[in-house]
Amino acid sequence: MRENMAKRGTFEGRDSLEAWTRNRLEAYAREYGSALTRYFDRRGAPPEVSKDLVQEVFARLAGLTRTSTIENGEAYLMRTASNVWIDHLRKKQRADGRVHLEYDDDAHSPAGLSPENVLESRQNLERVIRALEGLPPRTRQIYLLCRVDGQQRQVVAEQLRISISAVDKHLMSATKIIGLAVRDRDQKA
């Protein structure tokens, strides 16, 4: 890709935004569109999504202001593609978290809220709380930060100044202890 840019004389030196005319964008789309599609494909995007993401890259380039200058066009193009990919993943993650469940009479019926079921749920919750309280303080803190607050392991590791593998070990330990507490009840029943 860099050689093509150098040969055509595009993106050399300080290109002002004058170069980003409609015709130039179309030329760049023709020249770099397949490379950008491969970029998104390699990251696991389905083909139809890759095409949309490539269009988003060029839409962002078209939206630049007249006062902008571009030092290194190829790097700018790839940085824009990277940002588009990150934004896509964030949107997907938010959408995945908002799964809509259809109403189901069996699953949502008041029969599921029988006194026995409510009591059993409360007892399970109490077991989990006791298991959490029985964890070493650091393990409990890491478990709550990651599993309840939803913080990423890397962020927790940086926050507590420990390695990510240490965070993983604390999470595994906590998960095992909590799982055993819940399983013990199931085996007694």
How far lies 100's CA from each of 97, 103, 148, 150, in Å? 9, 9, 21, 20
The tally of CA atoms less than 13 A away on the side-chain side of residue 133 is 6
pLDDT tier at 186, thresholds 50, 70, 90: low
Sheet strands (E) in the chain: 15-16, 69-70
Of the ranges 55-64, 96-105, 160-169, 175-184, which one carries the lowest mean pLDDT score? 96-105
Domain holding 87: CATH number? 1.10.1740
Residue 104 lies inside a defined structural domain of this protein: no
Residue 109 lies inside a defined structural domain of this protein: no
Q: Which residues contact 66 (CB under 8 A, 6 or more apart)?
A: 17
Gap between the Cα atoms of 104 and 28, Å rounded: 51
Final residue in a domain of this structure, among 95, 116, 143:
95
- On whether both 77 and 133 belong to a single domain, the answer is no
- Evaluated on CA atoms 35, 40, 46, 51, the torsion sign reads negative
Expressed as residue numbers, the domain containing 90 is: 2-95
Domain holding 137: CATH number? 1.10.10.10
Residue 131 lies inside a defined structural domain of this protein: yes
- On whether both 138 and 181 belong to a single domain, the answer is yes
pLDDT of residue 10: 44
Per-residue pLDDT of 71-106, as tens digits, reads: 777 788 888 899 999 988 888 877 766 655 566 665
- On whether both 85 and 164 belong to a single domain, the answer is no
How far lies 91's CA from each of 31, 39, 95, 176, in Å? 28, 19, 6, 32
pTM for the structure as a whole: 0.43
Q: Which of 72-76, 90-94, 145-149, 182-186 has the highest mean pLDDT?
A: 145-149
- On whether both 131 and 85 belong to a single domain, the answer is no
Helices 47-62 and 73-97, packing angle to 10 deg: 120
Residue 46, Ramachandran bin (φ over 0: left; ψ between -120 and 50: alpha; else beta): beta
Residue 37 has pLDDT above 60, yes or no: yes
Counting beta carbons within 10 angstroms of the beta carbon of residue 142, is it exposed (0 to 12), middle (13 to 18) or buried (19 or more)? buried
- On whether both 90 and 151 belong to a single domain, the answer is no
- On whether both 88 and 30 belong to a single domain, the answer is yes
What value does the mean pLDDT take over residues 54-73? 75
pLDDT of residue 153: 92
Q: Which of 6-10, 121-125, 134-138 has the highest mean pLDDT?
A: 134-138
Mean pLDDT of the chain: 78
Gap between the Cα atoms of 72 and 170, Å rounded: 45
Question: Tokens 């593609």 map to which residue?
Answer: 81
How many structural domains is the chain composed of?
2
